Amino acid sequence: MKRRTFLQTSVAAALASQVYAAPARRPRIILRSSWQVVNIGDIAHTPGVMALLEKYLPEADVTLWASGDFSEEVHAMEAKRFPNMRVVKGSIGETGKVSNADLKDAVDSCDFLLHGSGPSFVARKDVGRFVEHTGKPFGIYGITYGGADQATIDLMSSARFVYFRDSVSLKKAKQDGMKSAIMEFGPDGAFACDLRDDEKAEAYLKQVGLKHGEFLCCITRLRSTPYWEVKPGSKFDPAKNARNEAMRDQDHQPVREAITRLVTETDKKVLLCPEDMTQMKVTKLNLYDQLSDEVKQKVVWRDKFWLTDQALSTYVRSAGFFGLEMHSPIMCIGNGVPAIVGRFAEQTSKGYMWQDIGLGDWLFDFDQPEQVANYASTVVDLVQRPEHAQQMVAQAQAVVTQRQRETMEVVRQSVGL
């Protein structure tokens, strides 16, 4: 059976199994997204999926059901790109009581709930209560899955579709007996993020002496993010902290080598920048401070956090990206910028999406010494063979774009378009 026929048949079967029927008007979708704002990658999920809905479902009205810490600053940034965006917050209680009038109106009037891209089935409780008390359909778009209790598996099985952002998650879900009508690979929503603040990016690059196309961005991280340093109410975790300390030098030495070789063997500079609010400190202590004085002359350390729009406007002015984070590389590839990913066990299986989109040569498991041995050379090669790098980016973009189109067609049919 051809893939398109299979998708259409699967959607038809899923729709036939549902009792709820949408009214004859513009479909109304609730996008449950916006997980936290201390990380520009977590922020990027939301505008990415909103951009896809805007492109492929322009007939639908979308309301963002955001998490409690969705800040005015982030809201304002996203509203520049989506001036008509409607945002609600709150929760649905065990009895079905909705915590505020705005959320109640959104829940009562919507036809479909779309759980946005993220590190897991983040809003499992919210979705469960939505389904229990409304009987309305839902779908899950672009998540990682590492296992769940039976109740969660049953809930996910009742979704119209579940798209996993990496093939390892998809395989695990099938092994666990998940049986949603459509279970396939679907790219992380952040690939479609297109926020921009060109003015801030240009001003910053001028301030620090970096020119368009003459630098690479680098982000590093610890094994576990020390959220206790930046999130109120987050408790210090001695076990995670001990693991961070134990692996600190092993994880950062290959990145330091890549920086050193890059600035000595090519004409490029390096910008050390953050993906989350803890990483200014991390990059200074583990990268910048340990470089030689000669190398430091060609390295800029960004000492302040930034939002997704300025970061992405900076990435697209760079010659590429390397480091130990995931969502800055995702945004880079989505916007035509070469990006090399380093991963380790603590980051779940999300990194394997690089293999799924044809970028396996740019994926390095830092728990595998034989892979790490080639890391610095690959970073240098990205600069020395720019045409090859752009070919790889274009091929990956083609895979992502095709899956975005196919998965959004399923969303269209699921909401009755």
Q: Which fold has domain 3-192+399-414?
A: Rossmann fold (3.40.50)
Q: Where are the domains of the chain?
A: 3-192+399-414, 198-306+316-384
Q: How confident is the model at residue 416 (pLDDT cuts 50, 70, 90)?
A: confident
The answer as to CATH 3.40.50.2000 being correct for domain 198-306+316-384 is yes
What's the mean pLDDT in 69-92? 96
What's the mean pLDDT in 186-190? 98
What pLDDT was estimated at residue 7?
43
What's the mean pLDDT in 40-64? 97
Check pLDDT > 70 for residue 6: no
Check pLDDT > 50 for residue 4: no
Q: How confident is the model at residue 397 (pLDDT cuts 50, 70, 90)?
A: very high
Check pLDDT > 90 for residue 414: yes
Instruction: Lowest mean pLDDT of 9-18, 138-147, 198-207, name the range.
Output: 9-18
Check pLDDT > 90 for residue 84: yes
What pLDDT was estimated at residue 12?
44
What's the mean pLDDT in 89-111? 97
What pLDDT was estimated at residue 25?
84
What's the mean pLDDT in 13-41? 76
Q: How confident is the model at residue 56 (pLDDT cuts 50, 70, 90)?
A: very high
What pLDDT was estimated at residue 90?
97
pTM: 0.92
Residue-averaged pLDDT of the chain? 94
As a whole-number percent, the residues of the chain with pLDDT over 70 amount to 94
Q: Tell me, letter by letter, the H, E, C secondary structure of the chain.
A: CCHHHHHHHHHHHHHHCCCCCCCCCCCEEEEECCCCCCEHHHHHHHHHHHHHHHHHCCCCEEEEECCCCCCHHHHHHHHHHCCCCEEECCCECCCCCECCHHHHHHHHHCCEEEECCECCCCCHHHHHHHHHHHCCCEEEEEECCCCCCHHHHHHHHCCCCEEECCHHHHHHHHHCCCCCCCEEECCCHHHHCCCCCHHHHHHHHHHHCCCCCCEEEEECCCCCCCHHHCCCCCCCCHHHHHHHHHHHHHHHHHHHHHHHHHHHHCCCEEEECCCECCHHHHHHHHCHHHCCHHHHCCEEECCCCCCHHHHHHHHCCCCCEEECCCHHHHHHHHCCCCEEEEECHHHCCHHHHHHHCCCHHHEEECCCHHHHCCHHHHHHHHHHCHHHHHHHHHHHHHHHHHHHHHHHHHHHHHCCC
Q: How confident is the model at residue 23 (pLDDT cuts 50, 70, 90)?
A: low
What pLDDT was estimated at residue 170?
98
More confident site: 54 or 417: 54
pLDDT tens digits, 206-250? 999 999 999 999 999 999 999 999 998 899 999 999 999 999 999
Rounded distance between C-alpha atoms, residue 122 and residue 347, angstroms: 16
What's the mean pLDDT in 283-307? 98
What's the mean pLDDT in 323-332? 97
What pLDDT was estimated at residue 232?
87
What pLDDT was estimated at residue 15?
45
Is there a shared CATH topology between the 3-192+399-414 domain and the 198-306+316-384 domain? Answer: yes
Check pLDDT > 90 for residue 165: yes
